[in-house]
Amino acid sequence: MSGKIYKPMGVLFILGGIAFAVVGVMVPLILIPFAICAIAFVAMGVLFWWLAGVMAVLPKRPKFGPSMRNAAAAMNNATTMMHTMAGTDDRVNQLKATGVDAVATILAVRDTGTLVNFDPVLDIDLLVRVGDQPPFPATSRECVGKVVVGRLAPGAAFACKVDPASNTNLFVDWDRLQPVA
């Protein structure tokens, strides 16, 4: 129901309650039933009047056009992320097979505010050490299970795989974390 109709309905109910009260006073035999009806009608009128005020201050419903246009892109991003998490992404499979063993130390963890299947998507800042090479920083955006989130504290170190051709590609199997001392 539109908010514009509540105020006129409130006025009608209040007037109806006043009419019941007047008729009840004029005919003494029906005073009590009409008084009860008058009170109920006035109460309903006040309720509708109040509801009209509440509806006036509520924000208008947003237009969904722009957000719906972005829905396909958001679904593609989510699908890509799910393929990456499931290990079906070619890059992940290649890193699992040919990646160089490394140790990633967590520097910081930030929640992106996004959930995938009720699991948080996190930005994880890492310091990666590959053999005798100097360590390098990396940031990984990952969907991590709630069970694992508690283990992602700054200073924690985990085994990972790094692309030997590019230090920007790394893979940590968050479901099978292997802590490193």
Domain spans of the chain, in order of start: 3-57, 98-176
Could you give the CA distance from residue 27 to residue 34 in angstroms, rounded to a whole number?
Answer: 10
Q: Token pair of 9, please? A: 């309905």
- Burial label, 3 (beta-carbon count in 10 A; 0-12, 13-18, 19+): middle
- pTM for this structure? 0.50
Q: Which are the contacts of 145, defined by CB distance < 8 A and separation ≥ 6?
A: 119, 174, 175
Task: Give pLDDT tens digits for 63-84.
Answer: 666 666 677 677 777 777 776 6
Three-state SS for 21?
A: helix
Residue with the two structure tokens 């992404």:
89
Task: Give pLDDT tens digits for 7-48.
Answer: 888 888 888 888 878 877 777 777 777 788 888 888 888 888
Q: Token pair of 90, please? A: 């070619």
Q: Token pair of 73, please? A: 């892109």
Task: Give pLDDT tens digits for 92-123.
Answer: 778 888 888 889 999 999 999 988 888 888 99
Instruction: With CA atoms as reference, report the closest residue to 10 among 43, 57, 38.
Output: 43
Q: Which pLDDT score is estimated for 51?
A: 80
CATH no. of 98-176: 2.40.50
Could you give the CA distance from residue 110 to residue 51 in angstroms, rounded to a whole number?
Answer: 42
